[in-house]
Amino acid sequence: MLKGRHVIEPGDLSVGEINEICSLAEQIIVDPVSFQDVCRGKILATLFFEPSTRTRLSFEAAMLHLGGTVEGFADASYTSSTKGETLADTIRVVSSYVDVIAMRSPKEGAALLASHYSPVPVINAGDGGHSHPTQTLTDMLTIRQLRGGLERHSICFCGDLKFGRTVHSLAKAMSRYPGNEFIFVSPSELKVPEYITKDILEPAGIKYKEVERLEDVIGDIDILYMTRVQKERFFNEQDYIRLKDSYILDREKMKMARKDMIVLHPLPRVNEIAPEVDDDPRAAYFKQVRYGMFARMALIAKLTGSL
């Protein structure tokens, strides 16, 4: 039963619940008209203390397509936090008006803190470098749609694997499905954290390897998950400048890949995927954006008890 639940990280959802949400999303994809009034009278608050385009608009579009309404803010400078209001008080106030809250913050743990003060469901829309569960649902729905299921894939993550919350979330979630293997491609400074490899993958006996060259592995993978080097996560701008162009996916690299490989990216991209790749049928990142709206529609409907 998902009604009234908070979703702070992918681990808050069981494998069965993830499958249930994806299955509902797939029903909405096939017949969206049947779901256009299921959240009539419900209100979603979007509290975005950090800039966002896709995630915020995806949440808002999801609620509107379900027949509900939206209120909130996209810039914390217009809120009472500038006057010193605590997050706890903001949540106490907002939860008095709405039925569900989607919240993004640059501070890790902010969504969890918010959930302690909210009587309505809080959905973590990204908290610093920690977690991004609805992006994970988006990624998993995309994989289900384009690869036929969530099991027995060779999944390669490339780019910023140290600060990439989408990488951490998806790796943890996909490690719960049998037969998946992982390849992590990054410069040494941006390696995937050991809590993923040493604490999650190794105890479960899941195969993985870490390499520094995408060319060495691109011919052996089913899913390539590209990420940008995130300037906002760096304390030293010189480190960012040195690493930002470490990995660029272009037409030449795509020639080395399998014909049925898919390329995912949580967006926004900077230059890590060359525009020439966009027309390749294996480029799935803009399809991924649309699947994200359906994944959030399914989650909102479940958490509000509308379905």
Catalytic residue among 82, 83, 213, 259, which? 83
Per-residue tokens: 152: 């027995």
Q: Where are the beta strands (DSSP E) in 111-267?
A: 122-127, 154-158, 181-185, 208-211, 223-226, 262-264
DSSP class of residue 225 equals E
Active site residue 92: no
Alpha-carbon gap, residue 250 to 243, rounded angstroms: 18
Catalytic residue among 6, 65, 132, 153, which? 132
Catalytic residue among 54, 191, 233, 269, which? 54
Alpha-carbon gap, residue 94 to 47, rounded angstroms: 9
Q: Say which residues have a Cβ less than 8 Å from residue 112's Cβ, sequence separation at least 6.
A: 8, 124, 127
End-to-end CA distance of the chain: 11
Catalytic residue among 6, 42, 55, 304, which? 55
Alpha-carbon gap, residue 219 to 257, rounded angstroms: 4
Active site residue 265: no
Measured CA to CA in angstroms, residue 282 lies from 167, 171, 259 at distances of 20, 21, 8
Active site residue 104: yes
Q: Say which residues have a Cβ less than 8 Å from residue 253's Cβ, sequence separation at least 6.
A: 214, 215, 218
Catalytic residue among 42, 104, 165, 168, which? 104
For residue 157, the SS3 value is strand
Alpha-carbon gap, residue 111 to 127, rounded angstroms: 7
Q: Tell me if 97 sits within 8 A of 43, measured CB to CB.
A: yes
C-beta atoms surrounding 204 within 10 Å:
9
Q: Any idea which residues carry the catalytic annotation?
A: 54-55, 83, 104, 132
